[in-house]
Amino acid sequence: MTFTIDLEPETLNRLRAVAAARGEDPNRYAAAAITEKVDREAERAQGLHEGRELLSGPARPLAESFAALRKKHGLPDLSHLSREQLAEEAEVILASLPPEKVAEAERLGLI
């Protein structure tokens, strides 16, 4: 499908430069970047919607909420693990993440 977008010259030059640095076709790079942004915004909007529903709806047990989040994001139930076992699991998870994600989490004070 073809879709035409008018970009400011500076933005177009930056897009071409980034695509060239990555060795990608500028059109394909732009399409992937737009798709990533739209997906991220859709997830954000869904999260906001779910948050509003939680705040306005009936209260439910915290364990039930955690179970729903684990299911939604495909996360394991670690509630039965000891503190030491949790620390080991966390190290494994951090080791599997891209370094930029770990750096971002550290920058935000999450780890």
In a domain, 73, yes or no: no
pLDDT, averaged across the chain: 90
For residue 97, what pLDDT is reported? 92
- Cα distance between the two ends of the chain: 43
Per-residue pLDDT of 57-68, as tens digits, reads 777 788 888 888
In a domain, 36, yes or no: yes
For residue 53, what pLDDT is reported? 83
Burial (CB count within 10 angstroms: exposed 0-12, middle 13-18, buried 19+), residue 57: exposed
In a domain, 48, yes or no: yes
Report whether 58 contacts 65 (CB < 8 A).
no
In a domain, 43, yes or no: yes
Per-residue pLDDT of 73-110, as tens digits, reads 888 888 888 999 999 988 998 999 999 999 998 999 88
Element (H, E) at 108: none
In a domain, 25, yes or no: yes
In a domain, 78, yes or no: no
In a domain, 51, yes or no: yes
Q: What is the pTM of this model?
A: 0.49
Count of structural domains, the chain: 1
Look at residue 24 and tell me whether its pLDDT is greater than 90. Answer: yes
In a domain, 28, yes or no: yes
Q: Where are the beta strands (DSSP E) in 1-111?
A: none
* Domain ranges, residue 34: 1-59
